[in-house]
Amino acid sequence: MFAVVVAAAALGWGAAPASAHNNVVGSSPAADAVVTEQPGLFSVTTSDLLLNLDGSGSGTAMVVTGPASAPLFYGDGCATVSGATIETAAQLGAAGEYTVIWQTVSTDGHSISDEFTFDWKPATGQSLADGAATAPTCGTETDAATAEATADAGASAASDSPLSTGAWIGGAIGAILLAVAVALFVLRRKRRR
């Protein structure tokens, strides 16, 4: 037990303030909102800065799914961090309830994540996206034909989808853990000076 206390003190775990965790202060669209025009950009703003070590938003994930009756994925899977805000671009498809799921790292090194829903009731003339049956991976193109072929595969696509989603989420969590480890290393080096 003594060794655990010494290790925790050496890493500075006891020095962090108790209320250092980021809180969500807003989102676009707002949670539980009724949206009639394509938002184009989805964002979550927190109470403090977010970790963005390499400037590319790696370690951050944000995905838009819906409608609830037949969920598809929308957007390219890429998320960016700007100060206290995480955001991604996406166009919505059929009317219904949509969910935005996100995960990032606050500058204190803690992983934060949540989700919110909103109702999409497109006004006349809104252009609707097709969506994809599998979660997108940032930097990889997913076209409508690929999504349609995957959806038509029936039971095969249904069995592949959870694996793809699990791999995408696992990769995002791995990137976040790597970012946290680097942040703790940098903070520990600064304390020694």
DSSP string, 42-101: EEEEESS-B--TTSS-TT-EEEEEE-TTS-EEES-S--EEETTEEEEEE---SSEEEEEE
Question: What is the identity of the amino acid at 161?
Answer: S
Q: Strand 40-46: give its sheet, edge to edge.
A: 24-28, 40-46, 85-90, 80-82
Q: Which structural domains are found in the chain, ordered by start? A: 22-192 (2.60.40.1220)
CA distances from residue 170 to 122, 163, 174 in whole angstroms, order as listed: 33, 10, 6
CA 100 – CA 173 distance, rounded (Å) = 17
Question: What is the identity of the amino acid at 126?
Answer: Q
Q: What are phi and psi of 117, to 5 degrees?
A: -120, 160
pLDDT at 10: 42
CA 109 – CA 28 distance, rounded (Å) = 25
pLDDT at 25: 94
Can you give the length of the chain in residues?
Answer: 193
Q: Cα-atom radius of gyration of the chain, to the nearest Å? A: 19
pLDDT at 180: 65
Q: What is the DSSP letter of 139?
A: T
pTM of the entire predicted model? 0.62
What does the pLDDT look like over 58-78, one tens digit per residue?
A: 678 899 999 988 889 999 888
Per residue of the chain (193 residues), give pLDDT as tens.
Answer: 434 333 344 444 444 444 557 889 999 999 999 999 999 999 999 999 998 876 666 678 899 999 988 889 999 888 999 999 999 999 999 999 999 999 998 888 888 999 999 999 999 999 999 999 998 887 665 444 434 443 444 334 344 444 455 555 666 666 666 666 666 666 676 676 6
